[in-house]
Copies of this chain bind each other. A is one copy, B any other.
Amino acid sequence: MPPPGCSMIAAHLSHVVAMNLILLFEEDFTAPGQVHLHDRRLTHIREVHRANPGDRLKVGLLNGAMGSGQLLSLSEHEAVMRVELDSAPPPPLPLTLILALPRPKMFKRTLAAAASMGVKDLWLINSYRVDKSYWGSPLLTDAGLREHLLLGLEQAGDTRLPEVHLRKRFKPFVEDELPDLCRDRRALLAHPYNAEPCPSASNESTVLAIGPEGGFIPYEVEKLIEAGLKPVHLGPRILRVETAVPALLSRLFAF
């Protein structure tokens, strides 16, 4: 039996089990149910999928339905597919994820990992231990964020684009916005001192904050707790944020 929330298409395509989804955009459609692709997705179809006309591929419309596409033709310049979009994307995690902005290389991977696990609401905040230069990274432009979010969606087989909110100033965010974000939700701070074990699998609406390398400083921890977050730990080991995100999400949600 396919896992809950898994489309029947995934069961049909099990012989090409874990190939990446090809994300489609409105502008790809030349006629109802027909798309022409020219960009990195063409390259991916030729060089990674190594597909041939007649092959079926997993496809999905950004922020829309998923399904399968049959490759009608393939050249150096263009891939043409007939697509049927008849399944819902997997359910999003009921999570607001707040990260002290990681350093660029780790952020890139953390962003894609979060997107691949179903995070749809991501807040990037400042901290004493966030180097100011990180805020200047091209990853934080709309295009930069979008690129890595799309990679995460393609990996996972999902189409709903996450929203990303940037908050360069810690104090106004924590005082003015965070208490409202936390209201009537399970609100947690991954900070392994004076902490309870991280609770496990539920489908509760959750707010989770994770600090920078080295952790939030005591002043910041106090403000976050004041805003409503409860410190939790994942055992005696300290994890990098790119490891902590999947570890925490998998602990917190029953997907």
Contact = CB atoms under 8 A, between A and B. Distances in A.
Interface of A: 1-7, 10-11, 14-15, 17-19, 90-91, 109, 113, 116-118, 155-158, 192-195, 197, 200-201, 211, 213-215, 218, 233-240, 242-244, 246-251, 255
Q: How many copies does the complex hold?
A: 2
Given A197-B3, A251-B251, A215 B90 contact: no
A155 B234 contact: no
A17 B90 contact: no
Contact of A249 (B19, B90, B157, B247): B247
Contacts of A156: 237-239
A250 B240 CA distance: 14
B234 A255 contact: yes
A155 B239 CA distance: 7
Contacts of A215: 17-18
Which are the 6 A-B pairs with shortest beta-carbon distances? A235-B255, A156-B237, A90-B236, A247-B250, A6-B236, A246-B247
Contact of A3 (B117, B118, B192, B239): B192
Given A3-B233, A157-B236, A250-B251, 19 more contacts: A3-B236, A10-B236, A17-B193, A17-B215, A109-B109, A109-B242, A113-B239, A113-B240, A113-B243, A116-B237, A117-B237, A117-B247, A155-B239, A155-B240, A239-B246, A242-B242, A243-B246, A246-B246, A247-B250
